[in-house]
Structure formats: C-alpha cells, structure tokens
Amino acid sequence: MDLELTGKRVLVTGGTRGIGRATVAAFLDEGARVGFCARNAEEVARTEAELASRGTVHGASVDVGDKEALAAWVNACAEEFGGLDVVVANVSALAIPDTEENWERSLNVDLMHTVRLVNAAMPYLKRSDAPSIVAISSVSGRESDFASGPYGTAKTAIVGYLHGLAFQLAEQGVRANTVSPGNTYFEGGIWANVEQNDHALFDTAMDLNPTGRMGRPEESAAAVVFLASPRASRISGTNLVVDGALTRGIQL
C-alpha cells in the first residue's frame, strides 16, 4: 500500500532511540523528508549519519522542555522544508517514581512539549494539504499499573489533549491521534535496563504479555506512520493501542 507520504515534511521529537528512531526511519522509507531532535548532540549526529542513505533527514540537538528552543527548531525545520505536514510528539521524561520532581518533569516534558510542539507547528499544518498530529502515549495512560503516578497521568492527559484537538480542528482538516505502545524492548531502552537490574519486575512484565514477548520499536512506528499518512484520512481522535493484547480493558 502506498501511504502517500512521498515528499511530505515530518518532524519527530526524540528521534535517536527506540520508537522515535524507528519512526524517523519508517517515514524516510515512505519517501518523507524528516527533521528530528534529541538532547544528546553526539547521538543526533550519529543517527543522522546512519539514516542519511534512506532519504532527506536533518537532526538537531534540542531540549524539548525548553519552550523557546523547541519553537525555534520547529520554525527552522519549516523554513528548511518549505512547510510542515506531520508532527510526532515522542519524547518522554520516563519519570516514573512518585516524587514532586517527577510530577514536574512529566508534565513539562511529556505533556507540555506535546502542547508546545503542536502550537509551534500549527500555522504550518494549517497550510498543508494533509496535516496530521501524532503523539506517543502509553498503555500506562490507559489503565493503572506500576507506572501510575507522574508518568501514567501525563500519558492519560496526552490522550485527552489529542482527542480534544481532533474535535476542535476537524473542520480545518487537521487530524490528531495517539499511539499507546505496551512494553517495548530495545538495547539501551528502559526494559533492557530493567532486565539487567530488576529481574523480578522484568519477569512480571514479561508474564503479562500474552504473546510471550515485548514489542519492537518498529511495530509501534508502523502504527504512527500509518495514522500520520493520508491513507488514514478518516481517522482522527483515535488512541491506537499497540500492545500485543497486553491490556485487559475493553476500549469503547
């Protein structure tokens, strides 16, 4: 299936690792032009070099918790690409323990970077012929689990925010959706760390997965790219769960 993304102009936050990197690669493979950011300049440069053969890709070192820096990056990419068609809010602080500092980090990074990305990109999206917003939430935003608290609450808020955007922007043709991955394993990721340092938690998490395995970044990235594409033109306000039947609640 041609997702009709050739030449589309895409931004992805947190594009050097895990789902973010897989999302950048998947958009490039569909012929899109992609700008991505992350905090670590060395990782940004390495990722850009490794993905350059797949298409037009530009990386930048940006702290998405910095409102001015995030807006400047969005504007610079829009100028470079001649506009924007898709934005993907992927960054998370992964601030799970229930402390006041983690509440502040989760709200500023997970939630407010999503809001600020949307606000900065909106003037460009409204001029696109296929505008789309996708944010990465989590199954922890859908039901209570060990990550309830700062992380889970911020992820729930992201789903609510994107659903509201979908309703508010429908007449203007701007679509907004979320993707909620379940446990996702990749080298250097949180679950690889848990596997090394907390065997009991890792075993418990694995036991909850009826497929007998955790997800791969590419599996969530595929959902992101489809929802962002013009092929999903009738889908807006949806929270697409990508969890291998991990969650038990029925999503109505």
Please identify which of the residues 8, 132, 140, 155 carries the catalytic annotation: 155
Please identify which of the residues 137, 140, 220, 229 carries the catalytic annotation: 137
- What tokens does 184 get? 């996702």
148 is catalytic: no
Q: Which residue has the tokens 């609640």?
A: 249
Contact between 109 and 93 under an 8 Å Cβ cutoff? The reply is yes
CA distances from 222 to 35, 71, 143, 181, 228 (A): 18, 27, 23, 11, 10
Contact residues for 243 (Cβ-Cβ < 8 A; gap 6+) = 139, 180, 181, 182, 183, 215
Strand-pairing partners, residue 34, are 10, 57
Please identify which of the residues 92, 132, 138, 229 carries the catalytic annotation: 138
126 is catalytic: no
Q: Which residue has the tokens 């489809």?
A: 226
155 is catalytic: yes
Please identify which of the residues 92, 124, 140, 151 carries the catalytic annotation: 151
180 is catalytic: no
- What tokens does 194 get? 């848990």
The residues assigned a catalytic role are 137-138, 151, 155
